[in-house]
Amino acid sequence: MTTTTENCGCPVSRRKLLAAGAAGVFAGLAGEQLSTQLAFASPAYAGDVFVLLSLRGGFDGLSAVVPAGDAAYYAARPGIAVPKRQLIGGDAYFGLNPALAPLLPYWKAGTLGAVQAVGQPAPNRSHFSAMEELERAAPGTSIRTGWLDRMMGGLGAAGAFDAVSMGSSMPARVLAGPAPDLGLHAVDSFVLNGEDKNRPMAATMAALYAGAPPALAATTAMTTSALATTAKLKAAGYTPANGAAYPDTELGKALKDVARLIKADVGLTSACVDSGDWDMHENLGTAVPGKRMYDHLNALASALAAFARDLGPAGLGRVTLVTISEFGRRVAQNGSGGLDHGYGNAMLVLGGGVRGGKVHGKWPGLAANRLVDGDLAVTTDYRAVIGEILRGRCGVTDVSKVFPGVRPSTLGLVKTR
Amino acid sequence: MDVTATDFLPADPLLHLLRRATYGPTPASTAEIRRLGAGAWLERQLKPASIADPVADDLVARLPLSRLSVGSVRSKVRAGAFKMYGWEPMFELGYAAVARAVWSERQLLEVMVDFWSNHLNVANPSGDVWDSRPDYDRSVIRPYALGRFADMLKASARHPAMLTYLDNRFSTRAAPNENYGRELLELHTVGLGYTEADVKGAARLFTGMTVSWDTGRYRYDAGRHATGAVKVMGFRHANTTASGGQSAAMALLEHLALHPATAKRIARKLCVRFVADEPPATLVTRLAKVYLDNRTAIAPVLRALFTSPEFAASVGAKTRTPYEDIVATVRTLGYAPEKSGTKALQALYWITEAAGQAPMAWTPPNGYPDVASAWASPSGQVTRWNAHLNITAGWWPNTLQRPESIVKAFAGDTLPATYGALVDAVATRLLGRTPAAEHTTALAAFYGKKPASPLKASDAAAGWAFPYLPALLLNSPYFALR
C-alpha cells in the first residue's frame, strides 16, 4: 500500500506531491498510458490566473458604470438614476456609482477598467437560457461544453486545481466538459469525513483503486492528491496580506479562498466565483447606503478591493478578473422603481495587466432609435472581450477554439504579457 | 496487478442484470431473481402494473404535490397552500423520484422513467414550469416509459412544460421560435444531420401549439399557425389550413419517431445506459431494427437488449453516475424508509444534488450525461465518499430504519474470526464477492491490522469503527462499477 505525503508535515511542492501520489497509484500501469492519459501535473502555465465572476440574475451595468453624459439615461430613470454630482472616478461621459468607492484606488491606478455595451450576440431575456448560452458561448453550434472548459482543454489542463469553481461543490456550467475541474464549497470544507491519522481513509482509497480502470484510477488519484493539498492548506491556516479585510459574504469568502489558492501555487489557471441577487425588478433605490443596488454594488466592491489588496501588486500582476452577467437591464425603470430584463451590459475588469481607469467599448447611445427593444444595444460581443484577455494575458493563441467564429476585440483592454 | 474492470465485479449474470436493469441489487431483489430466474424476472419488470408496490406507494402518498395536474397546482395556490410560482410541487416531485428509485419494486420502470426524463428533459425544478412539471412526469413520462416512444413524443409536444421549456408557446406565424424544432430534431429524434431548412420547417409546423395564460393548459391557437407546405427529414405536408396545423404536427412527430436515424439514436442511447459507454455497433443495429419492427414500442427493445450476448459480455463496462451511486447505496445497505414524514427523502435528494445529479435537475435540454468520463470529478467523488459513510452510519440522513446491529446484518450473527474474514463477509453481503487479496490487506490495514489478525468483539472494528468498512467498500471500484 502506498500513501501520499499528506501526513508528513513537511513542505512539499505541488509537483512533488502529485508525483508521489501518482507513483503509488499508477505503479501498475504502463508508462505510455501514464503519459497520455493520466499525467496530471499540467505543463507549466505562465499566463494570468483568469478569474470569472458571474453576476447572476442580470446585472445593471448602467447603474455601475453610469453614462452621465447621455441625457436619455436621466430621462429614462427619473427615480433611480445616479446624479452626476454623486459619481466618482469619471471622465467626461461616464462615472462610477459611489458604492464602488472601495475600488476607486484601483480605478485610479489603472488596474480596474470597464467595458460598456457588451453582451451576447442576440438578445435573450430568459435567465435560464441566457445563462446557458452565456456559459456555452457557442450559439448556432451543437457544442455543449462550457467555454472555460474549452479554454482549459486548449491549455492542456490536467491538474485538479487548474480550474476551480469556488463557493459550490459542483463545478460551474461554464466548466462543463472533458477538462478536469474542481468544485469547492470552500478550501477548508474539502475533507473526507473520518480522515484521521489512525484511520487513513484517503490512503486506503488510493490502495483500493490501484489497478482500477484508468478513468476511475485517474479521478481517485486526483481526489487523493487534492485532499492532501487542502489538508495542508487547512493546517497552515490563512491570513490575508496587507491588512485586507474581506466582507463576510459568500463572495468575500470565495474570493479569499481564490487568493489563498493563487498564493499557495497549487497550479490555479482559472477560477469561477458567483455573486447572486442582481435581479432587481423593484425598488432598486437611489445611490445611498441602505438602498438595494447601492448596498449590492458596495458589497461587490468591498470583496473585490479586499481581493486586490490581499494579492498585492505582484500578485495582482498575474491575475485578471472579469465580471459577466446573463443580460443587462432595461434602460427605462418600470412602475415598481426597478428594472426589467434587458440586453447590453457593462463588464468590470480587474488585474495588474489591465489598462484601466477608463471605460472601453463603443457607446451606442440611449436615444430611443439606438435601443434594441428598449434595451442598450450591444456593440462588442462579450466573447470578443474575453478573447482579447485570453490572448493577451493567458497564452490562448487561437481564440476561435474557445469561442467558435469569434475574433478577439482590439479594445486595448490589457497589456500583452 | 493487471486488473481489469471485470475483476472487480461478481461474475454472476443475475447480479449483472440487477446492477443494470435496476438501481442496484438489494438483499430482497437478489433473492427474488434467484427464485424466478432472469427471464421471468425481466418479464415481470416489463409489466410494472402487475407488481404490487406498497412501500413506494406509501412514500409517494406523503408527497401529494408531486402528482398534481396543472389545474390542481393552480387551485392549491388559490387555496393558499403555497404561493404562485412556488417550487414546492417540483421539489416534492424530486423527492418522490428518489423514493421510487430506492424503494419501488417496479425498478425497470423507474430506471426508464429516469431515462426518458433525461431524453425529453424539462429541468425540474425551474421557474417557468412551476405549475406543469409534476404533470409532465405524471401524464407524459410515466404512462409511456415502457410503451411506444411515438406516443410519449406526441404527448411531450403538447404538454405545457415542454412548450414552455423550449419556448414553442411563444412561437407565432410571424416569428416562429426555432428552439423546440431544433431540439426535437437534434435531441429528441434524429440527431445531428438535420439541416437548417428542416428546423425552419418544423418550427413553422408547430406554430399555434401553445399554452393558455388563463389555465396554464395546452391550447391549439389556429390563428398563430403558419400555413404552407413543409418538408422535414423526408416528411412532406401541404399544411394548407390553419385548423389542420395540429394534426400535421402530430404526423411529423410520428414520422420522426419512426425515422431510422431516431431508431438508431434511441437504440444507442439505451445501450449507453445499459451496456457500455461505447456500445457495440452490432447490438445498436439489431435493436434499432427491433424498435422499427415494433413501431417504437420500447419493451421489445429492452427484452432484446437484456437477452443479448453483448449485454452478457459487458460486465464492468459501466460506471455508476452520482445519482445511481447514492440510490444504490441505500438499496445495497437494505435500509428501510422512515416510518413517517419525508426528512430522509429530502436528505437523500439533497445529497444527490450535492453530488451533482439530483434527478431531473439538469438544466440544458440534452439531459444528464450517461458516460463515466462526464462524472470523473474529484469534488463529486468526495461528496459520494462522504455520503457513503454518512448513510451507512446513520449520521445523514439520520431517520432511515437501520438494522439493530449493522455488524450482524453485514458480517453475520457470528463475529468473523479475523480481519480478513470480516472484510470478506461484509464485501460478500454488500458487493456479492470478496475483494482481491491486496485490497483485503489494504482494508485490514485501515484498522492497523493484517488479514490474519484475530478479530475480537471488543475491537473498534467490531464496534464504533465498523461503519467505516462498509463505507470504504462502497467507495471502492467494486461498487463504483455498475
Cβ-Cβ contacts under 8 Å for A131 (sequence gap 6 or more): A56, A173, A326
Q: Is A214 exposed, middle or buried (0-12, 13-18, 19+ CB in 10 A)?
A: middle
Give B12-67 as a DSSP string.
-HHHHHHHHHSS---HHHHHHHHHH-HHHHHHHHT-GGGS--HHHHHHHHT-GGGG
User: Is the predicted pLDDT of residue A126 greater than 90, yes or no?
Assistant: no
Where helices occur in B339-465 by DSSP H, the ranges are 343-354, 378-393, 406-411, 419-431, 437-446
Which of A129, A184, A209 lies closest to B379 in CB terms?
Answer: A184
Q: Flag the least confident range among A226-235, B71-80, B371-380.
A: B371-380
Show residues of chain B in contact with A191, CB under 8 Å: 382
Closest CB to B377 among A199, A207, A219 = A219
Residue A95 — φ and ψ, nearest 5°? Answer: -145, 160
The answer to whether the Cβ–Cβ distance between B382 and A216 falls below 8 Å is: no
Residue that is written with C-alpha cell 439520520 in the block? B398
C-alpha cell at A68: 452621465
* Run of H or E residues at A116: strand A112-119
How many CB pairs (< 8 A) connect A and B? 129
The owner of cell 412548450 is B163
pLDDT at A35 over 50: no
Q: By CA distance, what is A193's nearest residue in B?
A: B386
* A400 burial level (CB within 10 Å; 0-12, 13-18, 19+): exposed
Answer with the residue of higher pLDDT: B128 or A306.
A306
Reported as a pLDDT band with limits 50, 70 and 90, residue B284 is very high
CB contact under 8 A, A208 and B3: no
Q: What is the pLDDT of residue A43?
A: 59
A180 touches chain B (CB under 8 A): yes
Using CB atoms, which residue from A126, A129, A190 is nearest to B382?
A190
Query: Are B364 and A132 an interchain contact pair (Cβ–Cβ within 8 Å)?
Result: yes
Q: Where does the pLDDT of residue B367 fall: very low under 50, low under 70, confident under 90, or very high at 90 and above? A: very high
Nearest chain A residue (CA) to B351: A169
Distances (CA, A) of A7 to A177, B37, B379, B394: 33, 50, 21, 29
pLDDT at residue B247, rounded to an integer: 98
- Cell for B188? 429528441
Half-sphere exposure of A340 (CA within 13 A, CB side): 11
CB pair distance less than 8 Å for B1 and A211: yes
Residue type (1 letter), B14: L
Q: A188 and B350 in contact (C-beta within 8 Å)?
A: no
Cβ atoms of B326 and B352 closer than 8 Å:
yes
Rg (CA), chain B: 24
With beta carbons less than 8 A apart as the criterion, state whether A146 and A403 touch.
no
pLDDT of B462 reads 98
CB contacts, 8 Å: B379 with chain A:
169-171, 182-184, 190
Under 8 Å between Cβ of B359 and B352:
yes
User: Which chain B residues contact residue A128 at CB under 8 A?
Assistant: 123, 126-128, 363
**Among candidate residues A243, A221, A235, the one with its CA nearest the CA of residue A264:** A235
**Looking at the complex, does the CB of residue A40 fall below 8 Å from at least one CB of chain B?**
no
- Find where cell 395536474 sits: B69
B128 to A213: CB separation less than 8 angstroms, yes or no: no
Selection from B424, B378, B465, B459 nearest residue A196 by Cα: B465
- CA-to-CA dists, residue A321 to A258, A259, A269, A354, A409, angstroms: 11, 12, 12, 9, 17
- Per-residue pLDDT tens for A160-180? 899 999 987 666 789 988 888
Give CA torsion, residues B256, B258, B264, B267, to 10 deg: 110
* pLDDT higher than threshold 90 for residue B136: yes
Spatial contact of A298 and A97, defined as CB atoms under 8 Å apart? no
Decide if A183 touches B, using CB distance below 8 A: yes
Which of B379, B385, B395 is the mutation pick for testing A, counting most A CBs within 10 A?
B379
pLDDT at A22 over 60: no
Share the mean pLDDT of chain B.
96
pLDDT of residue B259 exceeding 50: yes
Tell me the per-residue pLDDT of B196-242, one tens digit each, with 9 for 90 and over: 899 999 999 999 999 999 999 999 999 999 999 999 999 999 999 99
pLDDT of residue A90: 84
**CB within 8 Å: B472 and A208:** yes
Instruction: State the cell numbers at B451.
Output: 488479514
Taking CB atoms and an 8 Å cutoff, what residues of chain B touch A190? Answer: 379, 382
CA distance, residue B300 to nearest chain A CA (Å)? 32
Closest CA in chain A for residue B436: A208
Give every CB contact of residue B58 below 8 A, 6+ residues apart in sequence.
none
Specify the DSSP class assigned to residue B215: T
Interface predicted TM-score of the whole assembly (ipTM), two decimals = 0.94
Angle (CA) B120 B252 B244, round 5°: 120
Q: Residue A15 has what pLDDT?
A: 30
Q: Which amino acid is at B468?
A: Y
- Which residue of chain B is at minimal alpha-carbon distance from A217? B477
Q: Are A94 and A68 in contact (CB under 8 A)?
A: yes
pLDDT tens figures, B313-339? 999 999 999 999 999 999 999 999 999
* Predicted confidence band of residue B3 (pLDDT cuts 50, 70, 90): low
Determine the 3-state secondary structure of A243 from DSSP: coil
Taking CA atoms, what residue in A is nearest to B317? Answer: A213
The amino acid at residue A212 is A
Contact A223 B383 (CB under 8 A): no
Q: Give A247→chain B minimum CA distance, Å.
A: 26
- Asked if B141 and B159 touch (Cβ cutoff 8 Å), the reply is no
Among A145, A184, A17, which residue's Cα sits nearest to residue B377? A184
The verdict on whether omega for the bond into residue B176 sits within 30 degrees of 0, i.e. cis, is no
Measured distance CA(A242)–CA(A244) in Å, rounded: 5
| Lowest-confidence pick of A152-161, B45-54, B279-288, B298-307 | A152-161
Kindly report the nearest CA distance between residue B41 and chain A, in angstroms: 31
d(CA A235, CA A220): 22
DSSP β-bridge partners for residue A275:
A55
pLDDT at A19 > cutoff 90: no
β-sheet bridge partners, residue A354: A414
Through-space distance between the first and last CA atoms of chain B, rounded to whole angstroms: 21
Question: pLDDT tens, B140-177?
Answer: 999 999 999 999 999 999 999 999 999 999 999 998 88
| CA nearest neighbour of A73 among A20, A36, A117 | A117
Measured CA to CA, the distance from residue A403 to residue B288 in angstroms comes to 36
SS3 for A324? strand
pLDDT at position B333: 98
Interface of A with B in 144-173 (CB under 8 A): 144, 160, 169-171, 173
Residue pLDDT, tens place only, A250-306? 999 999 999 999 999 999 999 999 998 899 988 999 999 999 999 999 999 999 999
Question: Distance (Å, rounded) from C-alpha A117 to C-alpha A237?
Answer: 42
CB contact under 8 A, A204 and B385: no
Phi/psi region, residue A376 (left: phi>0; alpha: psi -120 to 50; beta: rest), is beta
Residue B352 scores a pLDDT above 80: yes
Whether residue B127 and residue A128 make contact (CB cut-off 8 A), yes or no, is yes
The closest CB to that of B354, out of A142, A169, A201, belongs to A169
